[in-house]
């Protein structure tokens, strides 16, 4: 007895292909996130940006040697 409204389950190959695709996409997104974090983490003390572009609400880190 078959139900015409039921959907078929994906095959092992289809699932494996989906996993490979998702892993590739995940690696690409991680690389993009790393670029954005590096770009947005810059302030005047660690880039060529002028101090006037620094966020006035974050406290500047004091570097002691």
**pTM summary value:** 0.54
Angstrom distances, CA of residue 62 to CA of 44, 50, 59: 13, 18, 9
- pLDDT, averaged in runs of 10, over the chain (65 residues): 70 98 98 88 68 70 60
Token reading at 17: 């292909």
Find tokens 């292909």 and name the residue. 17
């Amino acid at each position: 007895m078959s139900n015409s409204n039921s959907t078929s389950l994906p095959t092992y190959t289809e699932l494996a292909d989906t996993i490979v695709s998702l892993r590739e996409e995940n690696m690409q997104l991680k690389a993009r996130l790393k670029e954005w974090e590096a770009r947005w983490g810059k302030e005047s003390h660690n880039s060529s940006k002028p101090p006037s572009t620094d966020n006035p609400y974050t406290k500047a880190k004091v570097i002691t040697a």
